[in-house]
């Protein structure tokens, strides 16, 4: 939907690719669906769920054995994002380096975007 021909809307690091493929195999999923929802102290939060199949309008990004499905309502906000996976002693999880984010809360779980031209509220 919001893609540029020949350019992936998101990039996936090798660590994220491995983790997504591992989750897909464990849960017999078709891909990891990524989206956004209202919430958190900065206004928006990323959502992730294992999907059985792409839904109409999903942007599908495949890399190796990994497949990411980007929900239609999130595509314009995630364009240019790098998806990574970090594993540590205290915390492990997916990390998003999103050039479209204008603000985030202290813990990094909640984000906000610049208001779209012609809109009155933040996305």
Are 44 and 123 spatial neighbours (Cβ–Cβ below 8 Å)? yes
- Res 100: pLDDT: 80
- Please tell me the distance from the alpha carbon of residue 51 to that of residue 34, in angstroms, as a whole number: 10
Q: Tell me whether residue 122 is in a domain.
A: no
Are 112 and 44 spatial neighbours (Cβ–Cβ below 8 Å)? yes
Q: What is the dihedral of CA 98, 46, 75, 27, to 10 degrees?
A: 120
- Res 107: pLDDT: 58
Considering its fold, how many domains does the chain have in total? 1
Q: Tell me whether residue 23 is in a domain.
A: yes
Q: Tell me whether residue 99 is in a domain.
A: yes
Whole-number mean pLDDT of the chain?
83
The residue range of the domain holding 81 is 10-111
Q: pTM, whole model, 2 decimals?
A: 0.79
106 or 114, higher pLDDT: 114
What's the CATH code of the domain at 59?
Answer: 2.60.300.12
Residue 105 has pLDDT above 90, yes or no: no
Q: Tell me whether residue 18 is in a domain.
A: yes
Q: Tell me whether residue 5 is in a domain.
A: no
Q: Tell me whether residue 73 is in a domain.
A: yes
- Res 123: pLDDT: 46
Q: Please give the structure tokens belonging to residue 123.
A: 């996305």
Q: Tell me whether residue 121 is in a domain.
A: no
Q: Tell me whether residue 83 is in a domain.
A: yes
């Amino acid at each position: 939907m919001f893609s540029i021909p020949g350019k992936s809307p998101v990039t996936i690091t090798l660590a994220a690719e491995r983790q997504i493929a591992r989750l897909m195999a464990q849960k017999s999923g078709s891909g990891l669906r990524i989206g956004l929802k209202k919430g958190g102290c900065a206004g928006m939060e990323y959502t992730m769920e294992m999907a059985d199949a792409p839904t109409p309008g999903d942007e599908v990004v495949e890399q190796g054995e990994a497949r990411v499905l980007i929900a239609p309502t999130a595509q314009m906000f995630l364009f240019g994002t790098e998806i990574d996976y970090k594993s540590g002693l205290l915390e492990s999880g997916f990390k998003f380096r999103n050039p479209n984010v204008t603000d985030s809360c202290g813990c990094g779980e909640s984000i906000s975007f610049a208001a779209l031209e012609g809109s009155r509220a933040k996305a």
